[in-house]
Amino acid sequence: MKIGNFELNKDGVYIIAEMSANHNGSLQTALETIKAAKEIGANAIKLQTYTADRLTLNCNNDDFIIKGDTLWDGKTLYELYQEAYTPWEWHKELFAYAKEIEIDIFSSPFDKSAVDFLEQFDPIAYKIASFEITDYELIRYTALKGKPMIISTGIATIDEIQDAVDICRSEGNDDIVLLKCTSAYPAPLEEANLKTIPNLAETFGVVAGFSDHTLGITASIVATTLGAKVIEKHFILDKSIGGADAKFSLDKEEFSHMVKAVRDTEKLLGRVDYSMSEKKRKSRALARSLYVAKDIKKGEKFSEENIRSVRPGYGLHPRYLKDILGKKASRDLEFATTLKWEHIDME
C-alpha cells in the first residue's frame, strides 16, 4: 500500500506531523510549522478541516460543556472548536506551500462539505478522526474518493472498527490504515495498550499504525517495534505559542528526536536474517575451534589433554571434538597447531 510515493511495506514508518490547532490562529505560524516538519524529517503534515458550526451546536447546555478531567474542561464544544479550527481560506496556500517544499499534506475532514472542499487540492490521503469513526456516512463518502483511508480507532468498539473497514471495502477502497489511538489528551501510558497494533493488522487485514497522544516519544518507538507502519504525533513549533493542543504536542527539537529514534529503531529491527555476511565471517575468527594444546607425536592418541576448543576460529569446528578423541595423529604436531583433518589418522 502506498501513501503518495511512500510504500508502507518497503519504505519504513510513515511519520505524520499533526498540526491541528498548533497554528494558534496565525497563517504564518502554520506555514512555518509545515517548513519545520519538512526540516525534521516528517513524511507528512496533517491539517483538520472543519468549522465549529459544522461540528457541533453553539450551545452552553450541560451536554455541550466539556468535562471529564481534560485540558479543556469548562469550555463549550463550540468554544473549543472555534478556537482550534484551521480557516478554510488558508488551505490553498498551505497545500501549495507543502507541495512546493515537497512534504506530503492532507487533512481530516469532519463532514461531507469538508471532503468536497479538500478534493480541489488532490490530497494524497484522508484521515478519519477517532471521534468520527461512528459517522458511517462520512466514512462512506470519503472512501468513495479513492484515496488511502487512515482511520483512528480511539473510541470505537471492535464491531464499529469492522463496520468502518467494511464500508471502505464496499466502496471499492481497500487502502486502509487503522491507527491504535487512546482518545485522551494527553494519554496515560498505562492506557496505550500498544499490543493492539499487530492485532489490528491481523484481525482486519489492514495496515496498522499509531496515533500517539502520550507525552514524550517512548510510545512511538515501542509502536515501531510492534509493526506500526504509520505514526501520527501532534507537532508544534514552540510550546510557548500556546493553544488548545500545545501541552501534549512535541516541539521541533522533541519531534526531531522522535523521528531519529524511529529511524534508528527501524535499522535495529532490520529483517529476519541468518545469512553469513562478510562481517560475520570476519568475526568468526574470534570463535572457538580445535587446536593442539600439547606437543603430539605421530601415532599418539588425541585426548582432552592434547587438543582443546579455544579461540581463535581457524581450526576444525568444536562439533568434531568427540569424533576425534581417541583417534591417532597422522604426524608430529607442535603446541598451538591449528587442527585439520589431515592431522588425523581416520583408520
- Summarised one tens digit per residue, pLDDT across range 137-173 is 999 999 999 999 999 999 999 999 999 999 999 999 9
The three grid cell numbers given for residue 225, joined into one nine-digit string:
517495534
pLDDT of residue 68: 72
**What is d(CA 300, CA 306) in angstroms, rounded to the nearest whole number?**
10
Residue 234 has a pLDDT of 96
Mean pLDDT of 175-195: 94
- Cis preceding linkage at 186, omega within 30: yes
Query: Do 139 and 205 share a domain, yes or no?
Result: yes
Phi-psi region of 37 (alpha: psi -120 to 50; beta: other; left: phi over 0): alpha
pLDDT at residue 346, as a whole number: 85
* pLDDT (tens digit per residue) in 227-242: 999 999 999 999 988 8
Residues 323 and 258 in one domain: no
Residue 63 counted as domain residue: no
pLDDT at 341 over 90: yes
Q: Is residue 56 part of a domain?
A: no
Asked if the structure places residue 311 within a domain, the reply is yes
The verdict on residue 327 lying in a domain is: yes
Using a pLDDT cut of 70, give the percent of the chain over it: 99
Residue 71 lies in a domain: no
- Check residue 211 and give its pLDDT: 97
What is the per-residue pLDDT across 31-89, written as a single tens digit (0 to 9) for each?
Answer: 999 999 999 999 999 999 999 999 999 999 999 998 877 777 788 999 888 888 999 99
The pLDDT value recorded for residue 258 is: 98
Dist CA 137 CA 317 (whole Å)? 67
Summarised one tens digit per residue, pLDDT across range 311-335 is 999 999 999 999 999 999 999 999 9
- Residues 257 and 289 occupy one common structural domain: no
For 110-120, what is the mean pLDDT? 98
Quick one: 188 and 246 in the same domain?
Answer: yes
- pLDDT tens-digit readout, 258-282: 999 999 999 999 999 999 888 888 8
Same domain, 257 and 127: yes
- What was the pLDDT predicted at 245? 83
Residue 246, pLDDT score: 86
Mean pLDDT of 196-222: 97
Residues 179 and 252 in one domain: yes
Whether 89 is covered by a domain: the verdict is yes
Same domain, 177 and 264: yes
End residue of a domain, out of 269, 303, 323: 269
Task: Give the cell for residue 200.
Answer: 489490528
| pLDDT above 80 (res 347) | no
> What domain count does the chain have?
2
Is 61 a domain residue?
no
Helix H, strand E, coil C: the string for the chain is CEECCEECCCCCCEEEEECCCCCCCCHHHHHHHHHHHHHCCCCEEEEEECCHHHHCCCCCCHHHECCCCCCCCCCEHHHHHHHHCCCHHHHHHHHHHHHHHCCEEEEEECCHHHHHHHHCCCCCCEEECHHHCCCHHHHHHHHCCCCCEEEECCCCCHHHHHHHHHHHHHCCCCCEEEEEECCCCCCCHHHCCCCHHHHHHHHHCCEEEEEECCCCCHHHHHHHHCCCCEEEEEECCCHHHCCCCHHHCECHHHHHHHHHHHHHHHHHHCCCCCCCCHHHHHHHHHCCEEEECCCECCCCECCCCCEEEECCCCCCCHHHHHHHCCCEECCCECCCCECCHHHEECC
Kindly state whether residues 96 and 240 are assigned to the same domain: yes
Residues 286 and 161 in one domain: no
- Please report the pLDDT score of residue 15 as a whole number: 98
Q: What pLDDT is stored for residue 3 in this prediction?
A: 98
Any domain includes 205: yes
Quote the pLDDT of residue 34.
98
Clarify whether residues 115 and 214 are in a common domain: yes
Q: What average pLDDT score do residues 106-124 get?
A: 98
Q: Provide the CATH number for the domain around residue 183.
A: 3.20.20.70
Q: What is the pLDDT of residue 213?
A: 94
**Which CATH number belongs to the domain containing residue 332 in this structure?**
3.90.1210.10
Q: Are residues 105 and 45 in the same domain?
A: yes
Same domain, 285 and 305: yes
Domain housing 284:
278-345
Mean pLDDT of all residues belonging to the chain: 95
Whether the CA torsion 29, 30, 35, 36 is positive or negative: it is positive
Q: Domain ends where: 269, 299, 319?
A: 269
Give the residue from 238, 269, 300 where a domain finishes.
269
Q: Is the pLDDT of residue 14 over 80?
A: yes
